[in-house]
Amino acid sequence: MESLVFIALTPLAIVLMMVVSLVSWRRREAPGGWALFAFSASGLGWLLFDALALLAPTPASTVWIVKVTCLFGPLMGVSWLAFVLSYTERFTLTARLAIVALSAWSGVYALMALTNDAHRLVWDTWEVVPDGSLSRIAYTLGPLGWAQTVFAWTAVTISLGVLLWAYAGTGARSRDLSRWIVAGALVPMALSVSFLVGLGPLEKDFTPIAMAVSSAAFAVGLARYQFLDLLPIARTALVDNLSEGMLVLDPRGRVADVNPAAQEALGASRVALGSLLRDSAPELAEAIASEPDATFRLGEGADARYVDLRVSSLTDRQGQDSGRLVLLHDVTRRRLERAALHRANADLYDANAELQARNDELDAFAHTVAHDLKNSIQGVLGWAEILRDEGPDLAADELRQIAGDVVTSAGKMGTIVHELLLLAGVRQAAVEILPVPMGAVVEEAMARVRLAHALAPAQPADWPVALGHAPWVEEVWANYLGNAAKYGGPTVTLGADTTATGQARFWVHDDGPGLTPEAQASLFVPFSRVGTGGVEGHGLGLSIVRRITERLGGTCGVESSPETGTRFWFALPRASETSARAPLALTAVA
């Protein structure tokens, strides 16, 4: 009856073992592939010959066929050991020589089984017994048979220990895979040992059928975990601990392997083993297809991550495409540090530019003090010496002329000192920003400028309300009106409008000869003067205008042509209701 059950289970067992044989043959170049194929092929041979022995027509043929099966049992043990050693990257030269020696011994053992009648070392006793309509052989092992059996299962047990040790420090995926592999080896071993020592009720050895169970376990590992598609498990000691991300894709773009560093680099776009990369991480898949060696971005905004990408092709021993190796390096921190360094360099550049500008101003200041103030002081000293030496002999008209020249020189010195102090004070002063009463400020400026009232400039009835500091804004108007009085034509117009950015713009327009482009380019530069004829100046006025407007959050400029004359303008932020009620503080600049 047991023989009929064996025959009934044989077709299913053959199918399972053939599937594993076929898949392992196709993956024979993978680590452990050749050994797993030899294991499944040996199991298939054992199963087929064991089934044929039950169907043999004569007792003699039954005994002969069973003796042939003695070749496959030892080969299965050897191939299993080779699989474990290869898959755990322990297939050293010594291990290879040992496998070759054990394979040769399997052939010797099969020869001893075929000639057992002469020495009875493999089987001590044997007989063919009927089992329903079939016949099976019953035997007891001889000393060589027991030695081979113990050796074979000891080797399997040791290899299982090696496998479990190799998986001890791996992740959940590897531990799950190890359970299937261990189960595939323990089931037939347990059944064989129980049969040989007579612990179970079975009188027929069902170990070949149990090998089909092992094949099923391996089939699960092949289908679910693709363990022959992956690198050997010993690679965990290196790859999983790499700081660089590593991703392995098969030819169809499925994820065959991924290490923790790659998962971390991908952030939210984590990938799963066996999934198509284009489904789990489409940005990465697109980057690999378009720019295999580049830096790409994952995510948007503050959560964006930058990853360096390197892609290499993988080939098998025949040179056929077997997938791609993707190396990922998270450079987000490096990019942020580089951006911070760039900003620091930019700030340093600005600071250097500001320092250079101040140095230029100091040089120009020294020129002004040395030239303009020196000339005025020398003039005053010269007239004072004349008064000291010749004063009693001079006529009244001459005395009045000398006194007028002294007053003029002293006034020029006072103006220079005032403007120098104002230029320095605008940089350092801390003031409140308030709405400026522009009409009153213009009147005060016109009262300060000689000839300004004589020009009778036209001005609007209502001025826009801008934010600023009234004394500084008065200086701007005084400079513009003074320039119009010195250099402009007979008609001067004051006005205001609105810029494209919403600021209030104020201007002084004269119908004079205008300025050349070269002259316009040198305006608003400290201590540079653009004039005509014999008009004298020291070049501080327009540089004061620029510094004031910039400190107040505005701008200044000039528009000039020979046909339309010259218009100097400055723009300030407009005052809102909120700013009119709450003044703003403008702190000093270091």
**Two tokens, residue 391:** 């004063």
pLDDT, greater one: 63 or 354: 63
Which among 543, 207, 536 is positioned nearest to 361, based on CA atoms?
A: 543
Whole-prediction pTM value? Answer: 0.42
The four Cα atoms 335, 337, 342, 344 give a dihedral, to 10 degrees, of 160
Question: What average pLDDT score do residues 77-81 get?
Answer: 82
Q: What burial class does residue 276 get, using C-beta atoms within 10 Å of its C-beta: 0-12 exposed, 13-18 middle, 19+ buried?
A: middle
Q: What burial class does residue 484 get, using C-beta atoms within 10 Å of its C-beta: 0-12 exposed, 13-18 middle, 19+ buried?
A: buried
pLDDT tens digits, one per residue of 364-406 = 556 656 666 777 787 788 888 888 888 788 888 888 888 888 8
Instruction: Write the DSSP assignment of 302-332 as a string of letters.
Output: GG-EEEEEEEEEEE-TTS-EEEEEEEEEE-H
pLDDT for 531 equals 47
Band of the pLDDT at 215, cuts 50, 70, 90? low
Tell me how many degrees the CA angle 535-538-539 measures, rounded to the nearest 5.
100
What is the phi/psi pair of residue 496, to 5°?
Answer: -150, 150
Q: Could you tell me if 156 and 192 are in contact, meaning their C-beta atoms sit under 8 angstroms apart?
A: no
pLDDT tens digits, one per residue of 195-204 = 666 666 666 7
pLDDT tens digits, one per residue of 318-334 = 667 778 888 877 777 77
pLDDT tens digits, one per residue of 82-125 = 887 877 767 788 888 988 998 898 889 989 989 998 999 988 88
Element (H, E) at 293: strand 293-298
3-state secondary structure of 570: strand
Packing angle between helix 143-167 and helix 72-87, nearest 10 degrees?
20
Distance separating alpha carbons of residues 318 and 31, to the nearest angstrom: 15
**Residue 556 reports pLDDT greater than 90:** yes
